[in-house]
Structure formats: C-alpha cells, structure tokens
Amino acid sequence: MVDYHAANNQSLYSAGGQQIYMEQENDWDRDLLLDPAWEKQQRKTFTAWCNSHLRKAGTQIENIEEDFRDGLKLMLLLEVISGERLPKPERGKMRVHKINNVNKALDFIASKGVKLVSIGAEEIVDGNAKMTLGMIWTIILRFAIQDISVEETSAKEGLLLWCQRKTAPYKNVNVQNFHISWKDGLAFNALIHRHRPELIDYDKLRKDDPVTNLNNAFEVAERYLDIPKMLDAEDIVGTLRPDEKAIMTYVSCFYHAFSGAQKAETAANRICKVLAVNQENEHLMEDYEKLASDLLEWIRRTIPWLENRAPEKTMTEMQQKLEDFRDYRRVHKPPKVQEKCQLEINFNTLQTKLRLSNRPAFMPSEGRMVSDINGAWHKLEGAEKGYEEWLLNEIRRLERLDHLAEKFRQKAAIHESWTDGKEAMLTQKDYETATLSEIKALLKKHEAFESDLAAHQDRVEQIAAIAQELNELDYYDSPSVNARCQKICEQWDALGSLTQSRRESLERTEKQLESIDELYLEYAKRAAPFNNWMEGAMEDLQDMFIVHNIEEIQGLITAHDQFKSTLPEANKERESIQAIQAEVHKIAQYNGIKLAGNNPYTTITPQSIDKKWEKVQQLVPQRDQALQEELARQQSNDHLRRQFANQANMIGPWIQNKMEEIGRISIEMNGTLEDQLTHLRQYEQSIIEYKPNIDQLEGDHQLIQEALIFDNKYTAYTMEHLRVGWEQLLTTIARTINEIENQILTRDAKGISQEQLHEYRTSFNHFDKDHSGVLHAEEFKACLISLGYDVENNKQKRTGIMDGDDFRALLISTGNSLGDAEFARIMGIVDPNNSGAVTFQAFIDFMSRETTDTDTADQVIASFKILAGDKNYITAEELRRELPPDQAEYCIARMAPYTGPDAVPGALDYMSFSTALYGESDL
C-alpha cells in the first residue's frame, strides 16, 4: 500500500513548471471572496478529510475555522498525516500562545517545500474562514495530491490522468476536469465499479438521475471503502460549477484507496478462493458426519423395536402394534429413505469437489462409511420384513384364539346349565319308599336320563378338545380355561359314577315293579332325542363362525340350506310325539283315570318341546341374516382385493418401465449436460407427480389389512415389493441427476468443452457393450486408446474416435502389453476399490486431470508470500487486514506458529498451512 502520509523532506517544486503550478494553486487572494456554494462544499469536504485523519488520534473537529484557532488540533493533524513529531505546543489560553502554535504548524508546512502565500497565523487564530480553508487546501495538496504520479505526470494532472484511464470503458463518462465532469455522479460510480464491481450495479444507473448516482457512490464508499462522505449530492447538482478543490480532495481518497492494492488483492483473492473451497468441503464433511450419525442412530433405535417378537395378549394390543408399524412405514421411514439417498449424493458430490480442487479424498469416521450405512439399512429392512410377517401371524393366532375361547365359553355354559341339579337328582333315595309303579317309573326315567347323558358325551369331549387347542396355541387365559374344563370333566365323571350307582339300586328292586305305561315310555324315549336334536340345532344356529373368503361362507350357507330342508321332517316327528301325549290324556279321560302328574319318565314336557321348536324357528332366519351379512363382507373383501390388484398390476409395470427408461437416459447423449439435467429433473418431477397413485395404493392396502385379508389371488404384486420398487426408483433418478451435476462440476472446474464431453460419452458408450453403465478393465483400456491416449508413453494424443481399422492398427503398433504397468497405475486412480469396473464419472475425472491444471500448494504459498511482504511468515494483523474477517480467522485458527530463524512474536507459518490444504501427498 502507498503511504501517502510519509514525510518527504525533499522539495519537488524546484522544477520551473511544477513550482509555478503549485504557486498558482497556493495563491490565495485576501480580497477575493469565495463563491458561497464553493465555500460550503469546501467546508464540508475539508472537515471530513481532516476528521478522517484526526480520528486515528481519537479526536475530531466540528467547525473548521473555530477548532483550529488554538493551533493544537492543527499540529496534531500534521503529526498524524506526516508521521513526524512537531515541536511541543504551548498550553496557554492567551492569544500569543495560540499564534505561536499556529506558527509552528505553518513553519512545518513550509519545511516541506510548500510556499504559503497570504496565509498568516493571525488570520487562523482570528477564525478567518477563507484563510483557514486555504491553509487546509495547501496541506491536502502537499500530503494527499503531490505524490500522485501517473506516466510522467504528477499531482493534479497525474490524478486526472488516473481517473481518465480508470473510467475510459464506461458509457456516459468523460472525465476532463474536477468540476463539471463529476456532476452527474457516474464518474464516481465508475471508479468504484472498476475496482470493486461487486459493490455497484453500474448498468442500472441513469445519467438523468444525478442525485441518486451521487448518493449511491458516497454511501458505498463510506460503507465499504472507509472513505467518509465529504460532499452533498444536492449541493453538487444545485451548483452550476462544483468546487474543484472539494472534488479533487474527495477523488484523491479514491486514488489512495485503490492504487497499489492490485497485487495484494490478487493474492488475497487466490487465498480466499482456496480457503472457501476448504471451508465448504469441511462444512460438507461435518454435514455428512452428522447426517450419517443421525441416520445410524435412528436405525440402531429402530431395529430392536422391529426385532421385538414379544406377543400381546389381546387382539386390540396386537392391532395397535400393526397400526404403529403402518405409521412407521407411512410417516417415519420415507423421510429416512430420502435422508439415505441424500447422504449418498452428498458423499459423491463431496468426493467430486475434493478431486476437482486437488484435495485428498474424504474418509468418514469409523462406522460411518456409506457401506456401513447400507449394511445397517439392509439389517433394518430384514427386521422390518420379518416383523410384518410376525404381526400378521400373531393377529391370525389371536383371532383363532378369541374364536375358540368364545366357543369354549358357550359350550361350557350350555353344559353347566344342563348339569345343574343332576347330582342332587342322582343321589336322592326316592326309590326306597316308592310303589312298584313308581319304581318302574323311576327306572324308565333313569334310562331316559342315561340316554340324555350319552347324548351330552360329545359336548364334553368338544369342550376338552377346545381347551387343549387353546393350551397348544398359548392362550393368555389358559389357566382359567383349564380350571373350568377340569371342573366340567370331574363333574362328568361324578355324574357317570352316580348314574351307574342309581341304576344298580333301581335294578335290585326291578323284580318287584311292573311295567309302567307304554305310552309314557314311548313319549319319553322319543321326546329325549328330539329334545337333544333341538338343543343341538339351537346350539348350531347360534354357533360363531369365521371365514376368510367367499367359498367358505358359501359352504356354510349350503350347509344351512340343507339343515332347513330337514325341518319339515322334524316337524312331523314333533307332531307325532305330541300325539302320544294327547293319546295318554284321551285314554285317561276315556277310562276316568286321574293322572297323578306329569310323565314320570321324563322332564321334557310338550310345552318345552313347543317352546324349543319355536326358538329353532326364530333362530333360522337370524342365522340366514348372519350368513348373508358375512357373504356381503366377503364380497366386499373380494372387491378390495380386485381394487388393490388393478392398481398394483398397473403400478408394478410402470415402476419397472421407469427404471428401464432411467437406465437408457443415463447412457444416452441428448443435448448439453444442462439440457440432460433439465430433462432429468422434469422426468423426476413426473415421477414425483405419480406419488398420489402410490398413496392411493397404500390406502387400498390399509383397507385390506384392516379387513384382515391375508391373500390376493388377483395379483402377484405385494405392497412390500411395490414400496421397495418405488424407493429404488426415487433413489435411482436422484443418483442419475447427481451424476450429471457432478459432470457439470467437473466440466466447469476443469474447463472441459461440451464437444470433449460428447466425445468422452460417445466413446464410453461405444465400449460399454453390455450397457451396464460401467467399463470393465479391457473395455476401459480400449476406450482410452480410441481417444488417442498412449498407454505406453502416458500421454494423450487427442486424435479423436477411431474406426475399426485404425483401432486395430493402433493395437498392433502399441504391442500386446499396452503398457501393463502404466495401465495398472491408471486403474488404481479410476478404480481405487479394485471393483474391476470404471464409472463414467471416474472416467471423465481422469481425462480432465490429464488435460487440465488446478491450483497448487506452491501457488497458494506464493500468494501468502505477497500478503506477507516477501517474509517467510505472516502475522494475524496482516491476515485480518488483507482477507475477509471469516477467512482471516479461519487461517489464524489453523496456522501453526512460525519457528524459523527470522521468527518474531506472533509469527504464523503459512507455508505448512498451504501444503496441508492439498494433503500429505503434496508435501
């Protein structure tokens, strides 16, 4: 930077022309009054100029003619701008003290070769505005303008020539002087834009809006260039001819702000570019590590939940687990699929940027590699698949258990109701005092009971079988079921023993008994099985059923229709039994016999038969309705199956077709990379717009699961397969877009032309015989040769794509080995994982690396050396002065202390830092 405040003890005014010019500039006629507009402009400009220097000493002035009267701030101003010490000022308040101080200042100015004309200390002390402004102008000329030199011109002419050179390319700007040429404000904006184009949008400025132009330049200069606002736009526009001295003073600040900084600026820009790349890469690495950690942590938490196979006791609890699993599938997993895809894209983009900036490859921390994430994701999907299958099996098991448990309770209740009072009946001793007829009646009654008992044997066996099945299926309330079953079996055994005992007692007295009324006996014998049949019919008509398809419910309906066909015959049996009872009453009435009571052989009365028959008649239509409702439900389920199948049979082939189309797009060359990227993004959007069809299918699938439908004969596609296909489709299109973006990054960073990329892609596709998107080793070698790459001599001839004859000739000319060692080296670059295949991205990375150049560690070291003033170290102060704040602090935090022989306190080692940016391989 040019130090225009440095003292210059040699007079530059010995040459005749230059001295005359300065004398003319310094000539200040006491009697000539300043133009009021000019005086206002000078007052503001000179005050701002003085304050721009006085603030370095921690002070400032408010009124230029008043604040310099005692000479103290005037002497301080000269010390600041010259860097020299003036004689010690006098601190007295008297006029003589002030005059002495001002004289010391004027003497110092004169000592610098400046001729002061008509300016005396008394006028300054008296606050003469004209003389004070003239003195300040003399100081500005000496210390801010005198040393300006451009092509053998200096001072005013040098400053004017510099302005003309800098503003020459700009329309509507023609700098010929320091007054009218600056009035529209465009010249000020052009100066700023020439040196700092990012601060000014010059094309938006209008020549007919000078106030806006001037204010824009003044505000930008003050905010970004540390040049205080020294002029008022309104004053300049409102003055026919702006004050030349005010304009020169302000413009000189621009000269000193910009001149001499180009070399340091270039060096700083190179460093900023390198640091920006490094900072961005570190940010991408941190983002990858965090995203990978979060995703792995989510997988770590989720897998145990999916592997938990602890069954619940009830259907409600298991259905809640199924609903939680659906929420996981619909709500929680899809964002993680996107995160995983984005993670891979970020990783590939980062590696591409590192290669393009000649940086070492990024190696994630242990356990966070893309392969680690893919492995964890594979385990997650394995657990997920097994979990859903287990949930459905558990729901089926619990459904079966609930059905069996309810059936057990119904049959047990019927049996317990039948056995109520039977033990008391079998243990009574009524036969000991009974008459012969009564004994015979008791014996017949007991025979009827035994028939009834035998008829109930099947129900007891059913109850025991259901309890056994509930135990085998691990029913949660098995202890209660077992206890009840045990009680029924023990009671049944007791009834058998008591029945046998009572029969033996009755048979011992049978010899003394007479046969009882045959009609009663016949009634009892026929009524008992008919009554059992009706009870069985009522039990069957109220029996719960569970079916899973239309065929099963139709089978139940057919069986029910067969049962209804037997009702007329049963009714005839009922009428026949009732006729026996009617015959008993007829005979008794005919013979005048008074019946002692009901039929002694049975408790089954005609009224109970009619009541149960009426109950059977009521249950038949109820059963009809239940079967028809279940038929309707199964028809609805079948509709759901067809509805899901119709959608799935369209979506499945659609996904497969899109996957194949993406594969074709990835190897075709239609237009520029930007055209391909636009096409792919439009293609991606069309895929995303298809998402409502997937959501609709998810809804259909949920309806199927809620209806507990476990099979579908109308389609081979399952929701699981379609979900995986959809996720793969989204991931594939995202990866394909990322590959094109990386190719654009490579092309732009390496300066590869569109024609070169087209040539690379054409050759790559030509040798990709199986259209797999990668080249195997021999295919890759042939591809290199087709592009003119001499594998023997490690260089590229750039001959273009060869036809078959040229290619065979080249093969022969290069020999059989084709540079095995060199080709092995190249394969190590393009295929570091030894997979045996080369991707297109790796291929163009290699070709661009062979033909282009990038920033190197030596270049960055040279840039830092410029900022450090050719020193072998740099200080924090220099970094903060030359670089933007964030990048300066970035360097300071990472640079090691400099330990060379010329080290000073606070010195930093920029050489080691620069080489470290490019990895250990460049050291």
Q: What is the pLDDT of residues 440-477, one digit of tens each?
A: 788 888 888 888 888 888 888 888 888 887 787 777 77
Q: The CATH number of the domain where 281 resides is what? A: 1.20.58.60
Distances (CA, A) of 695 to 261, 699, 711: 62, 6, 21
For range 7-12, the mean pLDDT: 31
Same domain? For 448 and 390 the reply is no
174, part of any domain: no
Same domain? For 781 and 867 the reply is no
**Cα(719)–Cα(76) distance, integer angstroms:** 86
Give the model's pLDDT for residue 726: 92
> Does residue 774 sit in helix, strand or coil?
strand
The per-residue b/e assignment along 385-421, b for 16 or more CB within 10 angstroms, e otherwise, is eebbebbeebbebbeebeebbebbebbbebbeeebee
| Cβ atoms of 236 and 183 closer than 8 Å | yes
**Cα(729)–Cα(687) distance, integer angstroms:** 9
Same domain? For 273 and 301 the reply is yes
570, part of any domain: yes
pLDDT in tens, 787-838: 666 555 544 443 343 444 444 444 344 443 446 777 788 888 878 878 788 8
Same domain? For 343 and 443 the reply is no
pLDDT in tens, 178-228: 999 999 999 999 999 988 889 999 999 999 999 999 999 999 999 988 888
Q: Which of 269, 265, 242, 266 is nearest to 187 (CA)?
A: 242
Q: Containing domain of residue 361, as a range?
A: 269-400
Give the model's pLDDT for residue 473: 74
Q: Which residue has the higher pLDDT, 323 or 2?
A: 323
Q: Which residue has the higher pLDDT, 479 or 269?
A: 479
| Cβ atoms of 569 and 646 closer than 8 Å | no
Same domain? For 546 and 680 the reply is no
* Band of residue 145 on the pLDDT scale cut at 50, 70, 90: confident
Q: Which residue has the higher pLDDT, 697 or 150?
A: 697
Which of 180-194, 316-330, 433-447, 711-725 is predicted with the least confidence, judged by mean pLDDT? 433-447
Does the structure show a pLDDT above 80 at 918? no
* Band of residue 922 on the pLDDT scale cut at 50, 70, 90: very low
- Percent pLDDT > 70 in the chain is 86
Give the model's pLDDT for residue 517: 58
| Single-letter code of the amino acid located at 380 | L
pLDDT in tens, 883-903: 888 888 999 998 999 988 888
| Cβ atoms of 460 and 489 closer than 8 Å | yes
| Cβ atoms of 5 and 104 closer than 8 Å | no
805, part of any domain: no
How many domains in the chain? 4
For range 511-522, the mean pLDDT: 57
Same domain? For 429 and 511 the reply is yes
For range 325-332, the mean pLDDT: 82
Alpha helix (H) residue ranges in 668-718: 673-689, 691-706
Q: Which residue has the higher pLDDT, 541 or 437?
A: 541
For range 149-172, the mean pLDDT: 82
| DSSP annotation of 898 | P
Q: The CATH number of the domain where 872 resides is what? A: 1.10.238.10
Give the model's pLDDT for residue 840: 77
36, part of any domain: no
Mean pLDDT of the chain: 80
Give the model's pLDDT for residue 510: 57
Give the model's pLDDT for residue 17: 34
641, part of any domain: no
One-letter-per-residue 3-state SS of 406-438: HHHHHHHHHHHHHHCCHHHHHHCCHHHCCCHHH
Q: Which residue has the higher pLDDT, 883 or 510?
A: 883
Same domain? For 395 and 491 the reply is no
Same domain? For 455 and 377 the reply is no
Structure tokens at 270: 């190179």
Which of 23-32, 305-314, 450-459, 638-647 is predicted with the least confidence, judged by mean pLDDT? 23-32
Structure tokens at 518: 């045959």
Give the model's pLDDT for residue 187: 94
235, part of any domain: no
Does the structure show a pLDDT above 90 at 568? yes
| Cβ atoms of 7 and 201 closer than 8 Å | no
For range 264-268, the mean pLDDT: 66
Give the model's pLDDT for residue 190: 93
Among 604, 633, 664, where does a domain finish?
604
Same domain? For 740 and 597 the reply is no
Same domain? For 776 and 660 the reply is yes
| DSSP annotation of 83 | -
Give the model's pLDDT for residue 539: 85
Same domain? For 465 and 429 the reply is yes
| Single-letter code of the amino acid located at 609 | I
> Does residue 154 sit in helix, strand or coil?
strand
Give the model's pLDDT for residue 185: 92
314, part of any domain: yes
Does the structure show a pLDDT above 50 at 26? no
615, part of any domain: no
Same domain? For 284 and 396 the reply is yes
Give the model's pLDDT for residue 211: 92
